[in-house]
Amino acid sequence: MSVAIVPSMNQHDVLNQLRYEWTMLAPSATSHLTWQRICRDYELDHLGSEPDFGAVLRRLEPGGGLTVEQRSHVIQVLLLEADDRFVHRALLQTLLPGVVSVCRQLKFGRGIAERPSDVVSEAIALLSELIRDWAGQSRAYAAPDLLSALRGRLRRWLLKEKEARHRIANDIPLGATAPVHSTLEARLELLRRQPQHARLAHLTWLRVFAERPLRELAVAEGVSVARLRAELQQFAQAHLL
């Protein structure tokens, strides 16, 4: 089965296009079989009678009859299973109202983006990327975590767009000036190429730009949170500040 995560589209109505696409995907055989497997593997008894992802996503809506804890648990499971392309698509669909909320918080890029729909399209693409990057992780608060990380990535995208427009408007050569975040990324990239600094430069990049939680990084490194925090602080003071 081929699932288009973000379709090639007329930018004017991306949300409606995704919703229309979902009406065709939701009752499909893949939807039924994938949901039944997940329901069985994770013993989601309170949703065991639902036939497919279409029904499940309706239950995940605020008036769908599930408690906040139940909704959070289902989305946690979806992120765990998001390496599956259909689950990825279902999770993206579930979070579309949150995407609109994030765009609204950032005023749809007013004064930066030409059209609000451009910001929505970029936000959807960034969220799809986040889901792919985080697939397989167990997060009790998966939905707010994803939307918080999306807000950070979308804000950085808007800053880059603003800088690009400033360059064009003032005929500034590329590389003449750079935002602080771009400069920091460039310095980290140089440090990542040096064997003696590669580990901490990479961890710093994950912490700052990928917004990975410190506890998650500490677990992956097999060290305590306090030790990793101290290492990163010493590294920043010696090489970045």
Residue identified by tokens 């589209």 is: 9
Q: Is 43 part of a structural domain of the chain? A: yes
In a shared domain, residues 153 and 60: yes
Predicted local distance difference test score (pLDDT) of residue 75: 96
DSSP H helices in the chain: 14-25, 29-42, 53-59, 68-80, 85-94, 96-105, 116-134, 142-170, 180-192, 198-208, 214-221, 225-239
Residues 101 and 187 placed together within one structural domain of the fold: no
Shared domain check, 210 and 138: no
DSSP letter at 52 equals S
On whether residue 54 sits in a domain, the answer given is yes
The Cα 162–Cα 232 span in angstroms is 30
pLDDT computed for residue 241 by the predictor: 63
Q: Report yes or no on 158 lying in a domain.
A: yes
The domain boundary, picked from 163, 189, 216, lies at 163
Residue 20 lies inside a defined structural domain of this protein: yes
Please give the single-letter amino acid code of residue 160. Answer: K
Is 9:84 a contact under the CB 8 Å cutoff?
A: no
Residue 169, in any domain of the structure: no
Nearest one of 72, 129, 134 to 99, comparing CA atoms: 129
- Does 193 lie in the same domain as 157? no
Q: What is the pTM of this model?
A: 0.67
pLDDT tens sequence for the chain (241 residues): 444 443 333 444 789 899 999 999 999 999 999 999 999 999 888 787 899 999 999 999 988 889 999 999 999 999 999 999 999 999 999 999 999 999 999 999 988 887 888 899 999 999 999 999 999 999 999 999 999 999 999 998 888 877 766 555 554 444 444 444 556 777 777 888 788 888 888 888 888 777 788 888 888 888 888 888 888 888 888 877 6
The domain in which residue 102 lies consists of: 11-163
Distances (CA, A) of 202 to 13, 130, 192, 199: 38, 18, 6, 5
Same domain, 20 and 111: yes
Q: Of 163, 187, 202, which residue constitutes the final position of a domain?
A: 163
Number of domains forming the structure of the chain: 2
Residues 19 and 119 in one domain: yes
